[in-house]
Amino acid sequence: MQTSPRTTKAKPNIYLSGFMGTGKTSIGKRLAQALGYRFIDSDEEIEKRCAMSVKDIFATLGEPKFREMEREFMESGHPDSGCVVSCGGGLVCRDGMPELVRSKGVSIVLFSPPEAILERVQKNDKRPLLNQPNPLETIKSLMRQRQQFYMKSGTAIATSPEISDTVKHILRIYKHATSKKFRR
């Protein structure tokens, strides 16, 4: 199975996928800073385009419409190089999306334990899928359902408690995928 492509494009994008609360935004911003790339968040781009929050899109237009917008964002809604792209947690969890994301650049999937995820997502109520009486059970169940998609979406890494360790690790993967020196 192909994970991260060994690409020949100049400054290929890095895509960060993984469950809500795995740290895609904070890690992505640090990566962008380290590489001098632009940071893009798929949720923010969709919110700008609709002039509506993700929460309101789910409530008024519905989840399937949001998933369509995520696909459009991936297909044509962002620059194709020089960016670190944080993908909403469910973006890759549709048929064809893991392949689409992998075809666009170097694709990384972050994994964190459900308890750590709960701690991070509890800080706000922006995530409609987790605004429920038992969010830990929802997290575990959604993670099980999504595992097959995440595993097809790129190089899987476990996040470290220290963000800078995760950032360094992703930079190594990126260097390996993009440098001629390391190609076989």
Q: Which residues lie near ligand S3P (CB under 6 A)? A: 20, 24, 43, 54, 88-90, 127-129
Smallest gap from residue 82 Cβ to ligand S3P (A): 21
Q: Based on CB atoms, which residue is closest to ligand S3P, 166 or 178?
A: 166
Smallest gap from residue 67 Cβ to ligand S3P (A): 9
Q: Based on CB atoms, which residue is closest to ligand S3P, 69 or 178?
A: 69
Smallest gap from residue 180 Cβ to ligand S3P (A): 33
Q: Alpha-carbon dihedral of residues 133, 136, 141, 142, nearest 10 degrees?
A: 90
Q: Based on CB atoms, which residue is closest to ligand S3P, 43 or 98?
A: 43
Q: How far apart are the first and last CA of the chain?
A: 17
Smallest gap from residue 141 Cβ to ligand S3P (A): 13
24 contact partners, CB below 8 Å, separation of at least 6: 16, 17, 18, 86, 87, 89, 110
Q: Based on CB atoms, which residue is closest to ligand S3P, 142 or 178?
A: 142
Distance CA 129, CA 43 (A): 14
Q: What are phi and psi of 163, to 5 degrees?
A: -55, -40
DSSP states along 24-36:
HHHHHHHHHHHHT
